[in-house]
Each structure stands twice: as structure tokens, then as C-alpha cells.
Amino acid sequence: MLWLDRHLASSGLNEVLFLLDAESARRVLGIVAGSIIGVGGVAFSITMVSLTLTSGQYGPKVLRNFLEDNVSKVAPGLFLGTYAYTLIVLSGHGLNETPRFTLVVALILAFAALFGFVHFIHRTATDLQADQIVHRFGRELRQTLQELADDADDAQRSPDTLPWRRVTRSRPAFPVASYRQGYVQTIDYAGLKRCCGARQSALVVYVRAGDLLMKGLRSFTLYTDRQGDAQETIEALNACIVVGPMRTPVPDAEYAISQLGQLAGRALSPGINDPGTAITCIDWFSLALAEIVDRDLPGCVFLDDDGKPCLLARTPGFAGLIKAVYAPLRQLSRSSVQVTVKLLESLCRLAELTRRRDRLDLLALHAILIAEGVERQRLQDFDTQDIRQRHRRLQALTRSHGDPA
């Protein structure tokens, strides 16, 4: 824009479109710079206050989703970018030069920044509502479980561990300790398979995404007849594990569950006492578990290109996932009848979606635990009537939907 102002200063079109003199144009640029940085400071103040209040009420984990939102980055960037632009063009003109094209761009950026400010305030007020926070966590959990179930379609994974035991029965075992520490964020199973294939060996992986890895802790057991290149093998295996300072919900389904569960736990705490938010969390738990209740989960045995087992890993199972959902909620909602009723309704919905005997037995088990916890509370019969009704319905569903013997 500075180049255009200098090289098109004598243009007739330039004189027609831009009627301000040099002093007036400089004054407008100064006003734009001062007002933009002032509004930007207000936006930053509103953001910090909102994040502080939200973090105190719903926990600090909600800040990760807010900070990953592009709107929260673009709007402040518009303010800072416009302010920096106006400072540069003000200092780039000489005393006898009139800002013209630079002034037009500054005004366009100012209007864009104001529009971004309005959108930013509206988006912030919307995203920090309880239902919107639950929606983001629930959608993330549902996507994680859906991807987990899709991994079960991999032809190079098997749930049968008998061939694996046959392969490793006659081979010596060598424990491999980790030389890193932190939370396991992801594991390169393809790289581990290549290591096994290159050394004609088999491997057991004791850690999975979400585990805390400690230096010196055994993370692998290598079954091989070749004992050479031990240090190179250890480094190659440890390089396939990515660690970080915190857990991430993308490959770690239980962490995604804990995020939504902590929102429900805070909502049921005496200080907040918001059972409506907890009920919304249960609804999203139901939607997420519906993705896997009638589907196979990934097998724990990885096969090589020839179909032979080469890698045994810890994989999340349906029993562990459903326990991670309902056990904390059952313990927190014993004194809340409406939340307990919602838990049983959630189990009934899941029971209607599957005919697998093992899945129905797990759903019935958690229903029994919920009902026993309510009985120990010694509530009034009128309050427990709905709970008993949902429990009887679930019992009927588990009997009628089960696979025939």
C-alpha cells in the first residue's frame, strides 16, 4: 500500500477518489490505531474474565477446547494486525505524502475488526454456556468411540490370543524399559510391527494412550532368538511411543470419557448443584456409547503381512469403557433421584440397540449396582418408584434381546 501511494500519487483517479488532505488522512489513521487497540483491550479483558469464571465452575479442562477454537484466535489477530498495520503506514509516509490507498485498507481492516469483535463476543457468550461445553466434549467423545470402532474393521488385527501364545512359547523373553517419561499420547503400532519384522521377533506392549510412562518402567517384552543389537532395538521401540506433558482425548477414549464425566461431577457437587447439566452429560454418554454397543472393538493382536501374530497390545474393551462412564456417575448421583433415573434410562436405550449377550450382561450389572446404591440410601418409596420401574424395564430388555442359546 505504501508503494501504491508513492507510485500512483499523480494519477487522476487518485485525486478523484481520495479527497482528504495529508493532515486529515493522518488524523484518521491515528484515530483508527487508538480505537482499535482500545477495543482490543476490552476484548482481551472480557476473554480473561470469561475464562476465569468458566474454569472455576466447569474445571480447567474446558479451556483447551476454547483455545483450540479458531474464532478466539482470528478476532484478537484482527485487532493486533490492524493496529500494527496503522503504525507501520503512519511511520512509512513522509511529511508531504498523503495516505490514500493505505487509508482505505486501514478503514477496511477497522470495519473487519469491529465485525470480528461483535462475532467474538457473541461466540464467547454462546460457547461458554454449559450446554455448549457439554456438546463439544460429547461430540469429541462420540467421534473418538466411532474411530475406535472403525479400527475393528482392520483385517490385520485379531482378538484371538491363542496363535500369539503359540508363537512366543518357545522364544526367550527380554524386558525393555522406557527411557522417557510423560503421558503416552499415541503409539506407532505400524513402526512396532516393522521393528518386529526386521528382527524376526514378537512383542508385547504394556502401555497404551493415556498411561503415565516412567523412566525405567518396563513398557515392552521382546520375544526373539536374536540377542544382538540390543541397544538399537531398545531405541527403535521407544521411538514408537510419543509422550507429552498431558493426556489428549483423540486416541485415548477413557480420557475423553473423564472430561465429560468431570463436568457431570462438578454439576452434581453441592457448590454448583446443577442436575440438568449432569443429565445432558448422560445423554451425550448414551449417544457416544451407542456407536460401540453393538460393534466389535479392535483386536489386541496385530498381524504381519503374512497373517502371523507379531504384536500384542493393550486395547480398550467395552467393559472398561462402560465402567468408566457409569461407575463415577453412579457414585456421585446416589442422592439425586432424577439423575439416577436418567442413568437407568440410558442403560435401557443401549440395551435396545444390541442383542449381544455379553453387552447386555454388562448393562444389567451396572443397573443392579445403581439400584443397590439407591436401596442403601433408604429413600421414600414414592421417590424410588421410577427407579424400580426403569430397572424392571432393563431386566425385561436384557432377557428378551439376548442371543438365543
Q: What is the pLDDT of residues 190-210, one digit of tens each?
A: 888 888 887 788 889 999 888
The grid cell for 204 is: 508385547
pLDDT at 22: 67
Residue 343 confidence class, pLDDT cut points 50, 70, 90: very high
Over range 227-232, report the average pLDDT.
66
Q: Residues 71, 76, 79, 82: is their CA dihedral positive or negative?
A: negative
Residue range 272-314, pLDDT digits in tens: 888 888 999 999 999 999 999 999 888 888 888 888 888 999 8
Q: Which of 122-131, 311-320, 339-348, 392-401 has the lowest mean pLDDT?
A: 122-131
Angle, CA 237 vertex, CA 234 and CA 239 arms, to 5°? 105
pLDDT tens figures, 7-65: 665 555 455 445 566 677 778 888 888 888 888 788 778 778 877 877 777 777 777 76
What residues does each domain of the chain span?
2-128, 157-244, 252-296+315-401
- pTM metric for this prediction: 0.78
* Cell numbers that stand for 304 in this block: 504381519
Start-to-end CA span in the chain (Å): 79
Nearest 5°: CA angle at 329, between 324 and 331? 105
Q: What is the CA radius of gyration of the chain?
A: 30
Backbone angles phi, psi at 30, to 5 degrees: -65, -40
In this structure, what C-alpha cell is assigned to residue 11? 494519477
DSSP class per residue in 2-39: HHHHHHSTT-HHHHHH----HHHHHHHHHHHHHHHHHH
Q: Give residue 404's pLDDT.
A: 46
- What is the chain's mean pLDDT, rounded? 83
For 64-116, what is each residue's pLDDT tens digit? Answer: 767 777 777 788 888 888 888 888 888 776 656 667 778 888 888 888 888 88
Return the CATH architecture of domain 157-244: Alpha-Beta Complex (3.90)
Cβ-Cβ contacts under 8 Å for 232 (sequence gap 6 or more): none
**For residue 254, what is its C-alpha cell?**
477413557
Place of cell 442436575: 275
Q: Using the 8-state DSSP alphabet, how is residue 97 labeled? A: P
pLDDT at 375 over 90: no
Q: Mean pLDDT throughout 334-347?
A: 88
